[in-house]
Amino acid sequence: MDRIIEFLPIIGSFLWRYMIFLNIIFSLIIVFLRRKEPKSVWAWLLLLYSLPIIGFIIYLFCGINMHKKRMFKLKQAERKVMAAIERQEKAVINHVAPVKDEKFEKHSGIVMYNLQYSDAVMSNDNDVRIYTDGISKFNALIEDIKKAEKFIHFQYYIIRNDELFDRISKELIKKAEEGVKVRILYDAMGCRNTPGKYWKRLKEHENVEVCVFFPAYFKRIQLRLNYRNHRKICVIDNKVGYVGGFNVGREYIDLSKKFGHWRDTHLRIEGSAVNELGIRFALDWNYAMKTNLFSDPSYFEPHRRKVSDGVGIQIISSGPDSSLQNIRNNYLMMFGKAQKSIYIQTPYFIPDEPILAALLVAVRSGVEVNIMIPCKPDHPFVYSATLSYVGQLVMAGANCYTYDDGFIHAKGVIIDEEMFCYGTANMDIRSFALNFEVNAVVYDKKKAKEMTEIFINDLKVCTKIEKDDYEERGLFMRFKEQFSRLLSPIL
């Protein structure tokens, strides 16, 4: 040990002497061996030279990109699903709408894009309920779990070992004992603080399967800080589906002193769109579990509702497994379609250049752009970057607000009070390109108006960011915003 201590100054001197040389080598690796957007490259180089050596270690954990290829396939369900997509594509091309109402015709370009590139089948027999507080959402979910007869597919980014999941897991175990198949899929990073013994106890019950997405090495070491499965999906008997922003934890039912009231948005869906959520869950499950849920077609039998005024829905997803940023591109098309108003709610607002440009064009074209963000940070650099981008839109004429009654975690966009897209994706580069996300695109004026009214009601507990106030912010805040903005491609 003494000899090791003697060599430490020599090692330190060597590292310091050759740090510039090592940084040049690391820079060449980042620039030439990894294809990235120039903006992202500069952000990594800034980090590397701000934190020599350490910056490159962070890059190894967060910056290395998985090759863009399909990690998941539809397997046995592929032909059936693709046949439905092809029928709808032909219908759009021939101007024969498979959904015979104006909401399809008016937004046919968006529908067509989602069909072609996100494999999103359009259905118009759905019912949608909107939940904005965790207590109501989880009460409804538990009641639906109690009614399950065949299976429950339960997928969340975060599942805490606390009173909320204790309550949910008791109902899941009861249903499993009745013969209902229960599958639980969680993300290793999101659940890094949930003890492994908790999952082990659940797996001891018959008819309960538990699977982890991108598990940690040696149970604790996370080498994939990017590419997390950020989806929140629950599908029950293919009759009822849930998708949105709520994770499973006490903070989501207003029991956290740090955040206080947790304002989020979750959708409860009945109808054919539930089958699309079920397919999304199965793709993730098959990849993580190395199995094939599609071998049992009973999991994928749409429960169609015979209604004349159903809600039109497409389920879209994107992530490192998709060749295009489908959710980002869906937003781009929505912004381009907007004629009157755009409403955005997001906890993190770090748009890439196309999204920012589209919003600036909308503002300058006379479209009313409204953006709602939290009043408090849960990630300091992310929040400073958010304020930088929001400030730019404020100066251009957008209406931007901070939500003051706790923490807003809702993620979505409404245009012209005619359609909306809500789900798990934040309005940031990480959600667009690095995380596995899923959103529901809803084509229905009645529901869009309801969602707009919810936004307007939230404004009662918001503070508007005025141009004068933003211009008068201090020098330190300006520096922090600008520095964070430079890092935005990697936040």
Indicate which residues carry an active-site annotation. Answer: 230, 232, 237, 409, 411, 416
For residue 422, what are its two tokens?
A: 């809500």
Residues 6+ apart with CB under 8 A from 76: 292, 294, 295, 297
CA distances from 465 to 176, 358, 400, 402 (A): 50, 21, 6, 7
Secondary structure of residue 244 in the 3-state scheme: strand
Cα separation, 397 vs 467, in Å, equals 9
Q: Which residues pair with 479 in a beta bridge?
A: none
Residues 6+ apart with CB under 8 A from 371: 344, 345, 346, 349, 390, 393, 398, 399, 400, 401
Exposed / middle / buried, residue 346 (Cβ in 10 Å: 0-12, 13-18, 19+):
buried
Exposed / middle / buried, residue 474 (Cβ in 10 Å: 0-12, 13-18, 19+):
exposed
H or E, element range at 447: helix 445-458
Number of alpha helices (DSSP H) and beta strands (DSSP E) in the chain: 18, 19
Cα separation, 251 vs 101, in Å, equals 41
Q: Cβ(259)–Cβ(404) under 8 Å?
A: no
DSSP 88-124: HHHHHHTT--SS-SHHHHHTHHHHHHHHHHH----EE
Residue 169, amino acid: S
Q: What are phi and psi of 345, to 5 degrees?
A: -125, 130
Alpha helix segments (H runs only) across 119-149: 134-146
CA distances from 413 to 89, 277, 328 (A): 25, 20, 11
What does the buried/exposed string (b/e) look like for 210-233 if buried means 16 or more CB atoms within 10 Å of the residue's CB? bbbbbebeeeeeeebebbbbbbbb
Q: Which residues pair with 183 in a beta bridge?
A: 153, 209
For residue 44, what are its two tokens?
A: 């990594």
